Structure 1
Amino acid sequence: MRHGLPDAESRNHPFFVHLFSLKSRNTRLQRGCLRGVQGPLLFGPFHAPSRGIMAKLKLAVIVGSNRRDSINRKLAQALVKLGANAFDASFVQIDDLPMFNPDLEPQRPEPTLRLKREIEAADAILIVTPEHNRSIPAVLKNAIDWASRPYGQNSWANKTVAVTGTSSGAVGTAVSQQQLRMILTNLVGVVVGGQVFITFKDGLIDAEHNITNEGTRAFLQGFLDQFAEIATKLAA
């Protein structure tokens, strides 16, 4: 890690990534500030851990958007492909859940029971979310509430979770990620793997769910590898 401006290759990245990297034994601040960022900053390559050969982790992927052409779903699909060597991933549906209502708890609707089963069966959870009015989307908060109930049967407790998201803004989803981390920590979730803020640009992800920029792909690969290593240790 070094202090100063990014080099020429880094400045040519098509979008902005901001990463706080959480190590398993120590916390280290890493910030990668790409195109359009001025002033002093911390910049350095993301060093992925060496995982060796081990069984794949069961990963539940939650997209905090019910939009048909969600860019966050595109990012989630790209991350699943990128992490295929470490994770056996499946997407958790949340757009068919009824609005949370304690009156429904005595006879819970089946989609809410399915949600809890899928979260509880996972070794780790990846949440990819947009930001709505400086907060997390209603569809995601609704899923969080359902999975946290009934009292004493909180499905988020002790689950290893990584959070990221993308938007067209300069600091994509930073506030929603901060709020999401606070909520999940309150629910005794173990939020790890770092924060990755991505500004979405046309061509960032192709039709086959590939991240098209080599440097960005390597950076996010390191993020996923570190998430997998921490999740593996916590699942042991």
Structure 2
Amino acid sequence: MKPSRIAAAAALAASAVLTLSVPAFAHVSVQPEGTAAKGDYAVVNFKVPNERDNASTTKLEVTFPADHPLASVMPQKLDGWDVKVTKSKLDKPLTVHGQKIDEAVTKVTWTATGKGVEPGFFQKFPLSIGALPEDTDELVFKAVQTYSNKEVVRWIEPQQEGQEEPENPAPVLALSAASEGGHHGSADAEDASDASHSSDAKAESEKTTEASSDSSDTTARVLGIVGIVVGVAGVGYGVLAGRRRAA
């Protein structure tokens, strides 16, 4: 094969690989800051890349899973964006930290007040969410990305086990095992905290007692040495006085 044909074939293969790999990293995704433990609270970021070279992303809508509702969702203020949190009544109330919750967040919408996510850039949209469910290993969200040219891309397709990634995959948040002393066991955590404070106070008291005891022992030793020195000096003075009288 001629060198020119080999070069052309290599270029075509590289182009094909690049084209096939673009959807793998260009879609809307969600990742936690640190860990997202079951039963706990977490800060997560929805990462939105701009896939167009002639339009900006001006709106992002994230729909929360109805099968695992979240009672607490708090967005972080972002310059250049308005945010709206939509809540809905629950068919079955939740019990969170001993309190019944009859509504949960169903959608969060960010709308650009400026240029939005321009071509060649990405934007992170952070949320504090919880308490995370304990009966699942992941949360599947649905995201809708709107561009300045009115184009809408729906990232809503779930990943099927054993199959290739869909063209427009939905963001998936993987949940780690429940952490010991997490928010999901608030009463136990408070008891543990009280015990910890009690233990710390006891340890501090013992340290103070030991320090006081050490100080007392040191003082006693110093006084004892001073007494011995004074006694020796007295005996020496008495002997000297007796000799003078004898003389």
TM-score by length of 2: 0.22
Task: Name the structure where strand makes up a greater proportion of residues.
Answer: 2
**Rg bigger for which structure?**
2
